[in-house]
Structures are given as structure tokens and as C-alpha cells.
């Protein structure tokens, strides 16, 4: 048996661990629970484990986990919980985090480093530096935010996998 082969046929090409065929994708969904600090960060942690298993490079995994964690925590803290959807394609990872919370009044303002509406209580827990959205922008290859006051927020990110 040569390196990278498996019984029942070639599934993994040498030097490349991602097993998804060209038009396949892997889909993952995680609930971002409301008011449950114990499970905050679970969605990004699950995705991190899966990407590690798939052989995505550690540097890219780090960018994805950082950005996804920030979006997930925002949905938890500011949006009252929501859902995280992740699609892994052979050439990219797409992540959608959505909530039905209060929404963002002024997205441009919210994107500025240091801007935060976090309450004192939330700040005591170590959040509220106003760095989450800038961090997402710096780490993602593409970031789209769709938010409407009173309706909720959708944060969509794309990360390219270079082969």
C-alpha cells in the first residue's frame, strides 16, 4: 500500500489530506445557545476539530477559528443566540452565523476598532474591546454582514484553501 491510499480505492492523494471530491461539500450546523456561557465557543471549536481532521493547514485553521469564534460570541452576547452553518468545499470554507437579535444600527461604525456597545457586565467577562468585527475582517478572505435593527444579523465569511 502506498502512502495516501486506503483499502477499497484511492481516497487520499499523497500530500493532500482533504478528501472531498470536487463538487462535494461537508456541511455542519451548530446551535449557538442563548445565555449558556459554558457552551459559548462550541461551534468554532467543532469546526476547528473537523478542519484539523481534514488536513487543512494550521495557519488557515487559526484564521478560521479566530474569526468564527468572534462571530459566534457576538451572536451569543449581542444577538441572543442563533445558528452557525459551515460548508467545507475542496477550495474554500464558508461560514454563516445568524441570530434574530437586536441587529446592528450602523454597520460601518460597528466595524471600527474599539467600537462596542457591550454592557459593563459583559465587559467584566472579558468581552467588549470592540475588536471582534475588525478581527473577522482581517482574517476572512471575504466578509459580508447583513443586519437589520429589530430583525437580526447574518455574518457570512469565506476562507480560501490554497492547494
Contact 103, 152 (CB under 8 A): yes
114: alpha, beta or left? (left if phi > 0; alpha if psi -120 to 50)? left
Nearer residue to Mg ion within complex by CB, 56 or 128: 128
Nearer residue to ligand ATP within complex by CB, 91 or 106: 106
- Spatial neighbors of 97 by CB under 8 A, at least 6 apart, are 32, 43, 68, 71, 72, 74, 75, 82, 83, 84, 85, 154, 155
Nearer residue to Mg ion within complex by CB, 69 or 159: 69
Residue from the set 47, 51, 133, 161 that interacts with ligand ATP by CB under 6 A: 133
CA angle, 45 as apex, 156 and 39 as ends, to 5°?
A: 100
Residue from the set 44, 65, 116, 139 that interacts with ligand ATP by CB under 6 A: 116
Pattern of binders to Mg ion over 9-48, x per CB under 5 A? ----------------------------------------
Contact 133, 69 (CB under 8 A): no
User: Residue 68: which of Mg ion, ligand ATP, none does it interact with, CB under 5 to 8 A by kind?
Assistant: none
Span near ligand ATP by CB under 6 A; candidates 28-36, 48-56, 59-67, 95-103: 95-103
Contact 159, 141 (CB under 8 A): yes
Minimum CB separation from ligand ATP for residue 37, in Å? Answer: 14
**For residues 139 and 135, what is the distance between their CA atoms, to the nearest angstrom?**
6
Residue 33 interacting with ligand ATP (CB under 6 A)? no
Site residues (vs ligand ATP, CB under 6 A): 70, 74-75, 78-79, 99, 101-104, 110, 115-118, 127-133, 153
Amino acid at each position: 500500500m502506498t502512502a495516501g491510499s486506503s483499502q477499497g480505492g484511492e481516497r487520499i492523494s499523497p500530500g493532500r489530506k482533504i478528501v472531498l471530491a470536487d463538487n462535494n461539500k461537508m456541511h455542519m450546523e451548530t446551535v449557538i445557545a442563548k445565555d449558556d456561557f459554558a457552551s459559548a465557543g462550541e461551534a468554532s471549536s467543532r469546526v476547528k476539530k473537523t478542519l484539523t481532521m481534514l488536513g487543512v493547514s494550521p495557519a488557515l485553521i487559526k484564521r478560521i477559528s479566530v474569526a468564527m469564534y468572534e462571530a459566534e460570541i457576538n451572536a451569543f452576547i449581542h444577538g441572543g443566540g442563533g445558528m452557525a452553518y459551515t460548508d467545507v468545499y475542496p477550495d474554500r470554507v464558508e461560514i454563516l452565523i445568524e441570530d434574530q437579535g437586536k441587529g446592528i444600527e450602523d454597520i460601518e461604525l460597528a466595524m471600527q476598532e474599539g467600537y462596542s456597545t457591550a454592557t459593563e457586565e459583559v465587559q467584566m467577562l472579558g468581552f467588549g474591546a470592540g475588536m471582534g468585527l475588525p478581527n473577522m475582517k482581517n482574517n476572512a478572505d471575504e466578509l459580508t454582514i447583513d443586519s437589520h435593527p429589530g430583525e437580526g444579523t447574518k455574518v457570512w465569511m469565506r476562507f480560501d484553501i490554497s492547494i
